[in-house]
Amino acid sequence: MGKIGFEMQPRIRLLSDDDIRRIHESALSILEETGVLWRSDLALEILEGAGAMVDFDKKVSRFPPELVLDAVSACPSEIQMFSTRGEPAALLKGDNVHFAPGSTALKFGSGEGREVREARAADLEGIVRLVDALPNLAFQSTAVVVSDTPREIGDLYRLYVVLKNSAKPVVTGAFSVEGLTDMKDMLAAVVGGDAELAARPVAIFDVCPSPPLMWTEISARNIIDCARYGLPVEFISMPMSGANAPATISGSILQHTVETLSGIVLAQAVRKGTPVVYGGAPSFFEMRFGTAPFGSVETMTIDIGYAQMGKFYGLPTHTYTATTDSKVLDVQAGLETGIGAILGALAGINVISGPGMFDFLTCQSLEKLVIDNEVCGMVGRFLKGVDASDDALAEGLIRSLGPGGEYLSTEHTMRFFRKEMYVPGQCIDRRDRKNWELKGATDVIAKARESVARTLGSRRPAPLPEERSNALDEVMRSIVARYNIESLPLGPTV
């Protein structure tokens, strides 16, 4: 089985080795005997050429086990992501954990989240500029669907706004077949060409199956184009337990495995070595209310379980957690976001999407981004673990000071207290009550609002080099001309 094994299992494990083997073998059996439906003749032709058994009338492909295993073995076990300036930014490998804002929200919330409206391009610009300044978010995302941009270029324009305002790598995705190629051209413009983009990836493209066991024309073509261009593709299987997937956690993990493996086969059939991320956005269906809660512990359990499968296959992993189903930024928002972040991190998931989002992934918030940045920072400190070196253990210091010793003024304390401690931003208050009251007795939402205003008012991201900024504008203008669009809210001028 080559690279497939248990060496990459995370700190927290919910599936035993036997559980993983059983899911793996069941997935191979379903892929071989039941198959997956593709609403793309091109995908079916490629799969047949690769050795799949294809029924073109039913649009179903079935996969010999060796074809699936060969495809998994062809995938890189790690992906180095870069900034648009060509600097290493995030290594997706092993148990390395990176956070990204949640993506594709339809609405924008302010303050406590009680005022919610359709998102606009200016909101996305603010989100991107803020995330650019937040040190614990390694990625950008095309965070909201902007309502003041023509629908036919909505995916393209979101990426344009991100690239204009931040050098961080981005998690994104296309809404159409043609959109992915246009987005590739935009990315190539800011990094210096197609070859540089393939060699130093700056974007991960989300591609979603349609559960159960189906792929649309758009998703299939997006996989094919990502593979052709050498772009990392992140498979986002979305089983909803009890609705479009089995009502059990293990059954949902099995369906997720089948869908993801089928996408991997197509990607590798187009180009061996296509970088893929074993991602997802499952949820445990809430039968009482007809909702899909991402803050439920059952959803988080599915996340950890399918991530174990991804690690079994030796692949970088992703999930949606560190988010909340609360409609406002309240205690529920904090507890669901915090629990999701720490569980995802303990599972060693490489890319965790969700910060900034609330209300079932439908809303994005600047204030929540600031607060969640602190959650991510605390998680990052926890993952560093304990330094038990001789110097840190301080045995000699404890001996020398003895009973009743005073540590505050020692050189050892001066060297270690900042190194050992994660120092949060101003929205986390650790004063005593008296000093908190003297400083205005403000709560975390008020502090986050102040932080947003301060950051957006005083800090501008480093601009793209002029030549590449102009190249990006030209790509956008050519797209606008093709669609006969007269103007865009944030430029470029047409």
User: What pLDDT is stored for residue 104 in this prediction?
Assistant: 95
* Over residues 158-171, mean pLDDT: 98
More confident residue, 19 or 8: 19
DSSP notation for 195-262:
HHHHHS--EEEEE---SSSEE-HHHHHHHHHHHHHT--EEEEE--EETTTB-SSHHHHHHHHHHHHHH
Q: How far is CA 66 from CA 26, 57, 71, 88, in A?
A: 14, 25, 8, 35
CA distance 474 to 123: 23
Structure tokens at 122: 């200016």
The type of residue at 308 is Q
Fold of 73-384: TIM Barrel (3.20.20)
Confidence class of residue 8 from pLDDT cuts 50, 70 and 90?
A: confident
pLDDT > 60? residue 480: yes
| CA 163 distance to own-chain centroid | 17
- Answer yes or no: are the C-beta atoms of 44 and 54 closer than 8 Å: yes
Structure tokens at 460: 């501008």
Q: Which runs of consecutive H residues, i.e. helices, occur in 34-176?
A: 41-50, 65-74, 121-133, 154-165
> pLDDT by residue (tens digit) across 385-442?
999 999 999 999 999 999 999 999 999 999 999 899 999 999 999 999 999 999 999 9
- Listed residue (175, 100, 181) closest to 145, CA to CA: 175
- Answer yes or no: are the C-beta atoms of 165 and 190 closer than 8 Å: no
User: What pLDDT is stored for residue 54 in this prediction?
Assistant: 98
Q: Which runs of consecutive H residues, i.e. helices, occur in 347-432?
A: 366-384, 390-393, 395-401, 411-420
Q: How many CB atoms lie within 10 A of CB 311?
A: 27
pLDDT > 90? residue 190: yes
pLDDT > 80? residue 55: yes
> pLDDT by residue (tens digit) across 287-342?
999 999 999 999 999 999 999 999 999 999 999 999 999 999 999 999 999 999 99
Residue with tokens 């492909």: 61
Q: How far is CA 494 from CA 66, 71, 262, 466, 487, in A?
A: 52, 44, 42, 18, 6
Residue with tokens 């009251």: 437
The type of residue at 456 is L
Confidence class of residue 238 from pLDDT cuts 50, 70 and 90?
A: very high
Helix 17-33 with 249-270: angle, nearest 10 deg: 60
| Phi, psi for 280 (deg, rounded to 5) | 170, 165
pLDDT > 80? residue 1: no
Structure tokens at 343: 């569980």
pLDDT > 80? residue 7: no
Q: How far is CA 459 from CA 94, 373, 376, 377, 444, in A?
A: 34, 17, 22, 21, 22
| Phi, psi for 367 (deg, rounded to 5) | -65, -40
Q: What is the DSSP letter of 493?
A: -
| Strands 36-38 vs 140-141: parallel, antiparallel or unpaired | unpaired
Q: How far is CA 440 from CA 435, 446, 448, in A?
A: 9, 10, 14
Percent helix, strand and coil across the chain, each rounded to 5? Answer: 45, 15, 40
Domain ranges of the chain: 73-384, 390-420
> pLDDT by residue (tens digit) across 179-188?
999 999 999 9
What pTM does this model have? 0.96
- Answer yes or no: are the C-beta atoms of 76 and 332 closer than 8 Å: no
Residue with tokens 């998703």: 219
Q: Taking all residues of the chain, what is their mean pLDDT, rounded to a whole number?
A: 97
CA distance 444 to 426: 9
User: What pLDDT is stored for residue 176 in this prediction?
Assistant: 97
> pLDDT by residue (tens digit) across 341-398?
999 999 999 999 999 999 999 999 999 999 999 999 999 999 999 999 999 999 999 9
Confidence class of residue 267 from pLDDT cuts 50, 70 and 90?
A: very high
